[in-house]
Every structure is written in C-alpha cells, then in structure tokens.
Chain A
Amino acid sequence: MRLKNWHVLCVSVLLVFTMAVTLGCAPEVDDEADTDPDEEPVDEPGEGGTLVLGQAEEADVLHPHRTAAIAANFVMAQMGDALLTRCPETGEIEPHLAEEYEVADDGKEVTFHLREDVTFHSGEPLDAHAYERTLSAVDKEGHGQGAARLGPLEDIHVEDDYTLTLTFSEPFGPLLLNLTSAGYQHAMDPTHLDEYGHDDYGRNPSSTGPWQFDDWMSGESITLTRYEDYAWAEYFYDNESAAYPDEIELRYIEEDSTRMAALEAGELDICSVSLADLDTFKDHPEFELVEYDREGNCSNLWFNHDQEPLDDVRLRRALAYGMNKEAIINAAIDGHGEPAHGILPPVMWGYYENIEDHAYTYQPDKAAELLDEAGWELPEGEDVREKDGETLSLTLMVTPDQEVMRTSEMLQAQYRELGVEIEIDTYEWGTLMEYLSEGRHDLSIVGYSSTDPDWLYQIFHSEEAGVGLNWAFVRDEEMDELVEGIRYTLDEEERREYAEEAQIRAIDNAHWAPIYRSDQYIAVHERVEGFDVNFRGTWLLHDVWLTE
C-alpha cells in the first residue's frame, strides 16, 4: 500500500499553519457582547446551584494529622471549623467554636470553653470528648501539619462536656494562631472514626463545617454538599445559617494552560490565575480579579550547608550577590512580583521592616571578588571556576513546575557569567522532598506559605535538619537559641525581637537567598456574588451565592 506522499505533506503543512493562525488570533473578547445594560442587579442571595472551584493540585488524604498538603487543608477547611478564627482584615485572633479561652500564667495550659450548639454532619453533638478524641489521635511520626502545629502538646483534659484543657511541656508561642486553621485543626467526627478507623477516615471525613463530604473521583474532583443544620458561621460572615449553593465541586486540573482555558470557557467559577495568563483575565468582562498578598515567599534558593563548597559563607554570599532578581521576575513570572529581601514576607506578623538594609543586591563584581577570595578562580580561557583542580559545579534540584524551571534556567545563566556551573535536576515533589531531607542537593528552589515566624524554627533549627524542613542543613547554635525563643516565648514583644534577630542572622549568613514574591490573583466569574478573601488570601466562601 503506497502512501500518497504529496497529499500527506500538503495536509500536514496546512495543519501546522492552521494551528499557527488559530493560536495567533487568540480569541478577542468582545466587550459589548455579553453585558446587557438593562439587566437589573440582583441583590438578594439565592440558594442553589453548584459552585465549581478550579484547583491545580489534588488533595492527598483528608485526615488532619496525616497530611501537610495545602490542597488537602483547603478541602478540610470547607468541611471543618476551628476553635479560633482570625479577623479577615487585621489577622487578630478571635473566638469561634471556643467561645472563650484562657491561657495560664506560665503559658503551659490553655483552657477552651466550647459552643454548645454545634453538631457534626452525622448529627452527633460536638463536645469536649470529641475534641479530646481528635487531639489524642495526634501522630507525631506522621508528619501531618495538624500534629506539627500542636508543638509540645503533653496532655488533653476534659473538664466537663464543653470545657477542654490542653497542657504543654513548654509555653508554645504559635499555638493560638495554629488553632485558627479550620482544615488542619478540624474536629473529627467520632462516629466516622468508629466506622472507618483512622486509615479510612481520610477518604470518609466528617466534621462540623458548612460543607459535608460527598464524593471523590480521584484525579478529577471532590464534591461537597451543603450541611443544612449549619448555624455557627464565623462572626464576620453575613450569612449565619447554611451555605447558599447546593454543592461545591473542587475540580482538579493540573496543567496551567488547561485550567486557564477551562476558566475562560466558564467551566470554573473561582480559580487562582496563573501569571502567564493574567492579561487574559485583566479587564475581562466576565471575571473580576481579586488580588492578595501571600504569607510567604514564592521562590527561595536554599543552600545545603552540609555540602562542600556551600559550607563556606563567602560562596553563599557570592551566589546571593550574583542573583539578578529583577531579571528573574521578568522572565519567570512576567514581571508580576517583587524581589524578596528577607526570609519572611511583609504581610506576616513579626516581619523585620529594615531587612532590606541587610539584603543582597545584584553586584556581580562583588560576587566574583568573593569567589576569588574563597579560592575559586577562573583559569585563563575557561568558563568555569576551579579550586585545587575541582570545578565549581553545583546541583540544583527542583520540581518541573514551569515557574520554577524558568527561575532555575535564569539562575543557571546568571551564575554561568560568574563562572559557576549549575546542573538542573528535576524530580516530582515527593521524590524531591525525600532527596532534600537526605541532603543530596547543593541547591534547591522552594517556595512556602506560613502563618507565623515559628516557620523559622522549622527551617533553621539544627534538630530539624534531616528530619524536618531544615533542608538548608543550618547548624548554628545562636540561630537555635533565637528560633527557640520564637517558639517558646509567649510575650509578643519578646517574640518579635527574637524573630527580627533570626531574620537578620539568616540573611547575614546567607542561609537562604530569597528570590521573589509573586502577585497573587483569583479570578471570580460574574455569576458568583459575595466572594472575598482575608488578608492572607484565604478564600471566604460562606457568603457566596450564584446568580444563575
């Protein structure tokens, strides 16, 4: 059988050009088409409908003590409530399921008085016994954030049906803030724990929140249905009873461009916007963009202090001076961000305002000087520096995320100018975490989001090296003292001082080289009313209703 080669050629070339032309003429949005000037705005919230939320990452398991995934926390936060909550504008801690709480003078005991009208999705009342059951299930080995955020918890004592006392071996600074997490600190329904046990609870969760778990299609979506008896919304919501829509569907679409295409096509109601597509949704007649500050840096270069040659602070400083953050921001995130100078973000409590005075600015000459000083010299006619016959070649381990890859390649090019060779190795997140814990890397790029300067303990305390998140393998006694001060002090001013000193020390010793914080945007479809975010970008969904 003989192919008609000419035809194949013509059809293929035509196909390629058609594709080019179609893509070149990306849909021009007609501003006039979809807006009807006579349409009356609808003010009264209406019930019904399915609210579709677009998500990039899927939850792993919906058990608060067995996950550290932001995606899982998001789902659990819709299904659960926390003992405390935060003011959406100021971040102040306010009561929620615990109507009142007292902290003992030594800071080691905290007593909570629970609301008495709260029930689980199964109809069982939420009381101190249920909380005791949830908290005693804390599995410190499980690396779940629910457990990690309870710090040195020693004992849980039920005073009466609605009073609960937690005892700690040390005063635990970030406790109250940690207890505002409706996801990681939701109360687990005892009837579900009886029925499914801890191993299967993660796929059959039940708690006290406005949404109850309904269905999970792996790789596709999670569906939550309205909990009709819900009447204990956080104080800042207008809606005090059950949520308005019938269902929430969390739709998981990993690929950025696919997710953005689905959003633009109107398949998603609310979704974070990838910065590469920001221009599509700016001034789009069907979408409103909500901007917020992320409580964390999106991109940081982690140095492995355990590996030669990065155990030499001069080398770390040289790499920090050799980094052109502005150029990276332009290439990696289209210019939609700002350089990060310190480890913590300005929006977080405890941020040191003058950190910029300590920060490294782009000074390639200074970087080259430091490298020379450290003995890494550039031989005549060579591209890579050498010392005692070894070339200066470093391994950068990252995830294949596109933003991270662009940042990595920019750094690779910038460091090549300095005579430093960077080899980029990509791994899936799970594998990367394992390798970073084992310290196989020289460098890595990892972003984070956190709520409290206690984060500095998790990333810089020597005891967290190899087991926790101290993937920089910082082993510095003075730093240990400072971050212990942050963790185990209750006095706000004292904590703040510790936090500030720790931030300065981390930058002076170049434990990390912070790169950037990107702008964060959420696109909300015009059929969605009542959506808001709090000061740190948490989605506030309880007032949301659908106009169609």
Chain B
Amino acid sequence: MTMEGNEDYQQGDQAAPDAVREYSPAKHVLRVFLRNRGATVGLIILLVLICMAVAAPLLAPYDPFEISENLMEPPSGDHLMGTDPLGRDLMSMIIFGSRISLQVGLIAVGIATVVGTVFGLVAGYMEGWVDNVIMRFMDILLAFPGILLALVIIAVLGSGLFNVMIALGIAAIPTYTRLVRGSTLSAKQNEYVMAAQAQGANLSRLLFKHILPNVMAPIIVNATLGVAGAILASAGLSFIGLGPSPPTAEWGAILAQSRQYIRRAWWLVTFPGMAITLTVLSINMVGDGLRDALDPQLKE
C-alpha cells in the first residue's frame, strides 16, 4: 500500500499525451541548460574529453610509455605536442592521461557523494543525537582544509592512484553531508513524506524513495563541480609526488616531471597545463549550467 499513490502518478505521467510530456522537469532542465552557451560549450569539450579517454588507444599516435631517441623535440608533424625528456610522445601521454584524470574525478566524487549523501539523509531525517554525532564528526573533518586532510590520509595509506581517489573522496564527504542534511531537513516537512510516514514506510524507503529524489538537484550540481576540484587536486598531489607511480601519464605528474625544463621546453608544461585547465573549466561550466537549470527559482 505504501507507494501506490506515487506509482499511479508515474504511470499516469507515462501515459500522458505529448502536450503534457513537454512540461517534464528533465526536458525543462535540458532546455534551460542548452540555452546557456557557456554550459553547452563546456559540455561539448567534456564530451570530447570523454571520447578521448574512451578511445585513447585508437587516438594516441604512439605508445605513451615508449621511450625513443627523440628527446625533448618541439611540436612537429611527427609529434604534434613534442616529446618529453625521455623521448615519449607528449600527445599520447596526454590522451592516456585523460583516462586517469576522469577516473580520479569520478571515483573520488562517487565516494564522497554516496557516503556524504547517506550521512546527510540520516542526520537530517533522524535529528537528535544521531544528527549531533554525525555532524560533529563532519565538523572535525571540516576543520582541516580539504587538501591537507587528503595529504594526511595519503600519508597514512601511502601514495598511489587508488589512495589518491580514496583520500580526495573522504576529504569531500563533509560538504555533501552538510548539503544533503540541510535539504533533507526541509524536504521532510513535505506532506508526501508525512503521508508516507503515516502509511508506515520504513526508514530506507522514506529516505531513498521519498526524500532523496527531492534533494538530488544540489547534489548533482555539487558533484559536477566536485569532479573538477578532484581532478585539480589529484594533479596537485601528483605534482608533489603523491600520485600514481611511474610510468604514468597523469597530467599533474607530467607537469612535475617537466618543471625542470620549463625555461627551455615550453610544450612540456603548456600542453598538460592546458589539458588540466580545459577539463576543469569545461566541467565547471557544465556544473554552472546545471545549477542554473536545476534552480527552481529560475523556472519560467
């Protein structure tokens, strides 16, 4: 009996005529989003990056880890972005590096979103001592700057790509917890939640079926922007030698390896730097567009 009303509504929605379907929230969001030129450009760049990551072995002209005798050659027809001090093709490295960066960004944010959302939902819905315990713990985590917390976690776990993802994920948890808790506090006052409660819905059903869908918008926006932050942070951690061990095509690591040659081989730092900048910028623009599109106050 618990969810019938809701399911009826969904069925009704699916069966609705075309004229009604045009007002579906998803379409509305998409329309607002696409009207934002910055967001659209961001999305296109991001899609290109994702394609690049997926098709890296097909796109890369060389094996990214194959050393050659062409040391530090400037960009040319053979090597569009030049070669690094060990004679590896920089473009191939950057293309393969997109896999690592997107992987780090998505997994770190995945960890933070899942854990943070669960904590936030529980804290916001239960209130009382549960809320207090969770939120005081989050306050402790928040007391450290994110990157410092990540450094401490890496110091404990050891360096490496996997640990970087965990560290960045853990460091971002409090943000999501606070965000979701706040939304949950207001969402749970809604009549449909009370109705579900009255019908005897259990806790997980209440949290995940009734409240979660209604607090998703800020999570999506925050997670999108979080991916950019995580990519930037992981590049930073790699730069100071805490990232994946060599050979690696991680962008931050390429920058770190190249910094000694910054004065005579501009391509070594420019291209990985551009890769990071473009990725972070595009994700930020997408996140920005999503925020505007998902903001109920901006609805026409």
Q: Smallest distance from the beta carbon of B285 to chain A beta carbons, Å?
A: 5
Which residue in chain A gives the minimum CB-CB distance to B269? A23
Name which of A155-163, A302-310, A423-431 contacts chain B: A423-431
Q: Are A279 and B37 touching (Cβ within 8 A)?
A: no
Q: Smallest distance from the beta carbon of A393 to chain B beta carbons, Å?
A: 13
Roughly how many angstroms separate A424 CA and B248 CA in the complex, as a whole number? 11
Q: Are B281 and A12 touching (Cβ within 8 A)?
A: yes
Residue-by-residue, is B16-40 near A (CB-CB < 8 Å gives 1, otherwise 0)?
0000000000000000000011110
Q: Smallest distance from the beta carbon of B243 to chain A beta carbons, Å?
A: 10
Name which of B161-169, B196-204, B206-214, B254-262 contacts chain A: B254-262
Question: Of B85, B241, B264, B270, which is within 8 A of A20 by CB?
Answer: B270
Q: Are A410 and B270 touching (Cβ within 8 A)?
A: no
Roughly how many angstroms separate A9 CA and B281 CA in the complex, as a whole number? 7
Residue-by-residue, is A130-156 near B (CB-CB < 8 Å gives 1, otherwise 0)?
000000000000000000000000000
Residues of A within 8 A of B259 (CB): 255, 257, 402
By DSSP majority rule, is chain A's interface helix, strand, loop, or mixed?
Answer: helix
Name which of B47-55, B64-72, B133-141, B146-154 contacts chain A: B64-72
- Known contacts A5-B37, A9-B38: A16-B260 contact under CB 8 Å: no
Q: Are A256 and B67 touching (Cβ within 8 A)?
A: no
Give residues of chain B (248-281) contacting chain A, Cβ–Cβ below 8 Å.
Answer: 257, 259-264, 266-267, 269-270, 273-274, 277, 281
Q: Are B42 and A5 touching (Cβ within 8 A)?
A: yes
| A-side interface size class | 35 or more
Is A520 positioned at the interface, with any CB of B under 8 Å from its CB? no
Is B131 positioned at the interface, with any CB of A under 8 Å from its CB? no
Which residue in chain B gives the minimum CB-CB distance to A3? B288
Which residue in chain B gives the minimum CB-CB distance to A7? B38
Q: Are A424 and B245 touching (Cβ within 8 A)?
A: yes
Roughly how many angstroms separate A423 CA and B245 CA in the complex, as a whole number? 8
Which residue in chain A gives the minimum CB-CB distance to B245? A424
Q: Smallest distance from the beta carbon of B265 to chain A beta carbons, Å?
A: 9
Q: Are B277 and A12 touching (Cβ within 8 A)?
A: yes
Q: Smallest distance from the beta carbon of A94 to chain B beta carbons, Å?
A: 40
Is B41 positioned at the interface, with any CB of A under 8 Å from its CB? yes
Q: Are A16 and B277 touching (Cβ within 8 A)?
A: yes
Roughly how many angstroms separate A24 CA and B264 CA in the complex, as a whole number? 7
Question: Of A19, A20, A331, A423, which is within 8 A of B87 by CB?
Answer: A331
Is B130 positioned at the interface, with any CB of A under 8 Å from its CB? no
Is B77 positioned at the interface, with any CB of A under 8 Å from its CB? no
Give residues of chain A (269-327) contacting chain B, Cβ–Cβ below 8 Å.
Answer: 274, 276-277, 279-280, 327
Roughly how many angstroms separate A377 CA and B51 CA in the complex, as a whole number? 39
Residues of A within 8 A of B277 (CB): 12, 16
Residues of B within 8 A of A408 (CB): 246
Residues of A within 8 A of B126 (CB): none
Residues of A within 8 A of B65 (CB): 413
Give residues of chain A (1-58) contacting chain B, Cβ–Cβ below 8 Å.
Answer: 2-6, 8-9, 12, 16, 19-20, 23-24, 26
Which residue in chain A gives the minimum CB-CB distance to B160? A425
Residues of B within 8 A of A464 (CB): none
Q: Are A405 and B246 touching (Cβ within 8 A)?
A: yes
Q: Smallest distance from the beta carbon of B48 to chain A beta carbons, Å?
A: 14
- Known contacts A26-B264, A256-B260, A402-B260: A412-B247 contact under CB 8 Å: yes
Roughly how many angstroms separate A426 CA and B261 CA in the complex, as a whole number? 21
Residues of A within 8 A of B261 (CB): 276
Residue-by-residue, is A406-419 near B (CB-CB < 8 Å gives 1, otherwise 0)?
10111011000000
Roughly how many angstroms separate A279 CA and B261 CA in the complex, as a whole number? 11
Q: Smallest distance from the beta carbon of A523 to chain B beta carbons, Å?
A: 14
Roughly how many angstroms separate A256 CA and B289 CA in the complex, as a whole number? 42
Residues of A within 8 A of B273 (CB): 16, 19
Is A261 positioned at the interface, with any CB of B under 8 Å from its CB? yes
Roughly how many angstroms separate A4 CA and B36 CA in the complex, as a whole number? 10
Q: Are B260 and A274 touching (Cβ within 8 A)?
A: yes
Roughly how many angstroms separate A342 CA and B111 CA in the complex, as a whole number? 52
Question: Of A8, A16, A277, A406, which is within 8 A of B285 by CB?
Answer: A8
Is A515 positioned at the interface, with any CB of B under 8 Å from its CB? no
Which residue in chain B gives the minimum CB-CB distance to A5? B38
Residues of B within 8 A of A8 (CB): 38, 281, 284-285
Q: Are A16 and B264 touching (Cβ within 8 A)?
A: no
Is A330 positioned at the interface, with any CB of B under 8 Å from its CB? yes
Roughly how many angstroms separate A332 CA and B87 CA in the complex, as a whole number? 11
- Known contacts A274-B260, A280-B263, A331-B67: A5-B288 contact under CB 8 Å: yes
Roughly how many angstroms separate A24 CA and B263 CA in the complex, as a whole number? 8
Q: Smallest distance from the beta carbon of B140 to chain A beta carbons, Å?
A: 28
Residues of B within 8 A of A277 (CB): 260, 263-264
Is B216 positioned at the interface, with any CB of A under 8 Å from its CB? no
Most buried by A among B86, B267, B284, B285: B86
Q: Are B246 and A23 touching (Cβ within 8 A)?
A: no
Residues of A within 8 A of B263 (CB): 23, 26, 257, 260-261, 277, 280
Which residue in chain B gives the minimum CB-CB distance to A335? B71
Give residues of chain B (79-112) contacting chain A, Cβ–Cβ below 8 Å.
Answer: 85-87
Q: Smallest distance from the beta carbon of A287 to chain B beta carbons, Å?
A: 15
Is A400 positioned at the interface, with any CB of B under 8 Å from its CB? yes
Residues of B within 8 A of A256 (CB): 260
Residues of B within 8 A of A332 (CB): 85
Roughly how many angstroms separate A413 CA and B84 CA in the complex, as a whole number? 14
Q: Smallest distance from the beta carbon of A431 to chain B beta carbons, Å?
A: 11
Residues of B within 8 A of A5 (CB): 36-39, 41-42, 285, 288-289
Q: Are B270 and A19 touching (Cβ within 8 A)?
A: yes
Q: Are A424 and B281 touching (Cβ within 8 A)?
A: no
Which residue in chain B gives the minimum CB-CB distance to A423? B245
Interface residue ranges, A against B (CB under 8 Å): 2-6, 8-9, 12, 16, 19-20, 23-24, 26, 255-257, 260-261, 274, 276-277, 279-280, 327, 330-332, 400, 402, 405-406, 408-410, 412-413, 423-426
Interface residue ranges, B against A (CB under 8 Å): 36-39, 41-42, 65-67, 69, 71, 85-87, 159, 241, 245-247, 257, 259-264, 266-267, 269-270, 273-274, 277, 281, 284-285, 288-289, 292
Extra inter-chain contacts (15) besides given A8-B38, A425-B245, CB under 8 Å: A5-B38, A5-B42, A5-B289, A16-B270, A16-B277, A255-B259, A256-B260, A260-B263, A276-B260, A276-B264, A410-B86, A413-B65, A413-B66, A413-B86, A424-B246
Residue pairs across A and B with Cβ atoms less than 8 A apart, 8 shown, are A5-B36, A5-B37, A6-B37, A6-B38, A331-B71, A406-B86, A409-B247, A413-B67
The 7 closest A-B pairs by CB, nearest first: A5-B38, A23-B266, A20-B270, A24-B266, A400-B241, A276-B260, A413-B67
